[in-house]
Amino acid sequence: MSRSPGAGRFAPSPSADLHIGNLRTAILAWLFARTTGRRFLMRVEDLDDRTFPEVAARQLDDLAALGLDWDGPTEYQTAHGHRYDAAIAELSGRGLTFECYCSRKDILSAPRAPHAPEGAYPGTCRDLTDAQREQRRTTGRPPALRLRSDVTEYTVSDVLHGDYTGVVDDLVLRRGDGVPAYNLAVVVDDAATGIDQVVRGDDLLSSSPRQAYLAALLGHSAPVYAHVPLVLNAEGKRLAKRDGAVTLAEIGVAAALRQIADSLGYRSATVGGMLDEFDPARLPREPWIYRPA
């Protein structure tokens, strides 16, 4: 059986410059793809209106400055609205969506089923009558579109975490402002571009069951996941701009590569050298505590 090589990817949101933790995740995604004979794709996740083209340009420059390369042109999600529309139309045609009129506050204050996790959608708008829906439509808030999910959890397979089972609720497919939701866009884009390996920060591990379930509904197989440890500051919190010198412009290319190599236990401080030393089984499982110089 012959099959075309799959692809890995990095998918930054251009809301702020990449920090050393994001750069390290990008290098790991590239190493995972290149050591498994995959193509490596770059996708700018610019659907949200708090993203900026000039930030995207700096992110791509930074990744190239580290020595990373990617195959084909960089994709921008804003250029692919029809993909998301088609997927949503397909799910709606199969009766798998419903309009949701809830605010965030409504969702947090609604009674939850026993064992339902905080923040999971309580099902408020799932089975409204036509009359109730008509009534809610007149209240002004443009509805979000949610998936009518028929599971409450789903299991994915992760290179670093093994089998991981997590919550699947009636996730948002299209936000009230009309923007395709993150979970939908990721699944549709990964499938449309032949991505079968997803390497990203482990803050997204808990989203992967929702995404794999949605992929299955759309007839796609789930990618191989590798959720890598985040980089934290000295207080054990997620690294942020206010922690000091954390971007490539602040740290410098050579120093950033040296710090990332040290954090992964590699002698070589070039991405080409790391390629020879890369062994997924030996990746650190603990967060990297970063102390800016």
Q: Which residues bind ligand GLU (CB under 6 A)?
A: 11-13, 45, 186, 200, 204
Contact pattern from residue 118 through residue 157 relative to Zn ion, giving x for each residue in contact according to CB under 5 A and a dash for the rest: ------xx--------------------------------
280 and 229 Cβ atoms separated by less than 8 Å: no
Which sign, positive or negative, has the C-alpha torsion 272, 273, 274, 276? positive
The smaller minimum CB distance to ligand GLU, of residues 200 and 210, is found at 200
The minimum distance between CB 47 and ligand GLU, in angstroms, equals: 10
The smaller minimum CB distance to Zn ion, of residues 125 and 198, is found at 125
**Which residues belong to the annotated binding site for Zn(2+)?**
100, 102, 121, 125
Q: What is the 3-state secondary structure (H, E, C) of 170-219?
A: CCEEECCCCCECHHHHHHHHHHHCCECEEEEEHHHHHHHHHHHHHHHHCC
Q: Calculate the dihedral angle through the C-alpha atoms of 199, 159, 180, 78, rounding to the nearest 10 degrees.
A: 20
The minimum distance between CB 143 and Zn ion, in angstroms, equals: 8
Which option in Zn ion, ligand GLU, none does residue 186 bind, with CB closer than 5 to 8 A by kind? ligand GLU
Which option in Zn ion, ligand GLU, none does residue 15 bind, with CB closer than 5 to 8 A by kind? none
**Overall size of the chain counted in residues:** 293
Q: Does 171 interact with Zn ion (rule: CB under 5 A)?
A: no
Which option in ligand GLU, Zn ion, none does residue 124 bind, with CB closer than 5 to 8 A by kind? Zn ion
Question: What secondary structure letter does DSSP report for 100?
Answer: E
Which option in Zn ion, ligand GLU, none does residue 12 bind, with CB closer than 5 to 8 A by kind? ligand GLU
Can you tell me the distance from the alpha carbon of 265 to that of 274, in angstroms, rounded to the nearest whole number?
10
The minimum distance between CB 101 and ligand GLU, in angstroms, equals: 27
Supply 228's token pair: 């890598």
**Residue that is written with structure tokens 């397909």 in the block:** 90
Q: Does 100 interact with Zn ion (rule: CB under 5 A)?
A: yes
Q: Does 246 interact with Zn ion (rule: CB under 5 A)?
A: no
